Amino acid sequence: MLKRKNSPKRPKRTLDTFPEKRGRGRPVRVRFSEIRGRADNYRWIFAQVWDRLWPPLSRADSEQAVIKAFQEGANPYDREFVPGLAGLALRVLREPKFPKRREPQVNFLADSLAGVGLVTPRRSRDICEQERAAEKRAHHIIRYEFMSNALAAIRDGLGIMLARSVGHESHSQLRLLLSWATA
């Protein structure tokens, strides 16, 4: 049997391989957008059930009491928070900066629990704040183009007027005058 002259080349690296070594820098443990999305979801849930949830939750002094408060006050959403987030919720409730009013309490607890223990409650709140600020910045006008276009039109008009008044119609002389007019 005859061999082919030009045998097909084998690729050195196939497309479906993954690098064995991790990249440089601190390893990413969580995605910020996931934490922000979870915080928004928790805010919505707590807004729905806060009137039933807060009285027993404010009296909780152990993880078991927090679990019981979520089961009684946050039904049908209790499975989202217990038993995994009970200890974290108790720690957040005992923080000295825990707010006194209803809406800030809801937002504080939701943003703190969104990290689900992968990051500290404080870092979770910081991540949520950064993501919300980034979303607001995304829709701002950075530069007004019409101003630069209007100034260019004024500059061009001024150069043409200067050229006509002096009597120079050639392009090279017009460019020279335009460069002088903008300087």
Q: Is the pLDDT of residue 147 over 60?
A: no
At 51-104, the pLDDT tens digits run: 999 999 999 999 999 999 999 988 888 888 888 889 999 999 999 999 999 999
Instruction: Indicate whether 158 pLDDT > 70.
Output: no
Could you tell me if residue 99 is inside a domain? yes
Q: Structure tokens of 42? A: 């928790």
The model's pTM is 0.63
pLDDT tens for 11-63 read 666 666 666 777 788 877 788 999 999 999 999 999 999 999 999 999 999 99
My answer on whether 86 and 154 are in the same domain is no
Contact criterion met (CB below 8 Å) for 70 and 86 = yes
Within a domain: residue 128? yes
Residue 25 lies in a domain: no
Please give the residue range of the domain that contains residue 165.
Answer: 145-182
On the 0-12 / 13-18 / 19+ scale of CB atoms within 10 A, 143 is exposed
